[in-house]
Amino acid sequence: MRIKTGDMVEVIAGADRDARGRVLRVDREKGRVIVEGVRKVYKHVRRSQRNPQGGRLSKEMPIPVSNVMLVCSSCGQPTRVGARWTSDGSKERYCKKCGASQGEIMPAKRKVGEEA
């Protein structure tokens, strides 16, 4: 899964299609993400000491990661994400449309005998 928390994504399928938002949480086991402002539902809450007025709380629900695409920070378009090795030996995500880097996935490995 190449979507991370904090990424800007666009929803490509479902009722909230074409909506953009920031990823709040990623559930890798279930393959779902929670996107800010997407798939909002109301939870009805009773009056209590914690919530003295009660009423309806609005919250986001998870959507499948296959229904979102990363929005490239340089070209501003929804794009597929690839992974590639850089010249220093680290691994990074990149935009498949413009080739711009989207951040490091894995730092460069240290060689045997090399000090930190």
Per-residue pLDDT of the chain (116 residues; tens, 9 = 90+): 789 999 999 999 999 999 999 999 999 999 999 999 999 999 999 999 988 999 998 999 999 999 999 999 999 999 999 999 999 889 999 999 999 999 888 888 877 766 65
In this predicted structure, what is the pLDDT of residue 4? 92
Asked if residue 40 and residue 14 are part of one domain, the reply reads yes
Residues 69, 95: Cα–Cα separation, whole Å: 11
Take residue 74 and report the two structure tokens written for it: 């340089």
In this predicted structure, what is the pLDDT of residue 31? 95
Asked if residue 86 and residue 53 are part of one domain, the reply reads no
Domain that holds residue 76: 72-116
Asked if residue 59 and residue 11 are part of one domain, the reply reads yes
pTM: 0.81
Q: Check: CB of residue 46 under 8 Å from CB of residue 30.
A: no
Q: For the chain, how many structural domains are there in total?
A: 2
CA 89 to chain CA centroid, Å, is 25
Asked if residue 96 and residue 86 are part of one domain, the reply reads yes
Asked if residue 97 and residue 108 are part of one domain, the reply reads yes
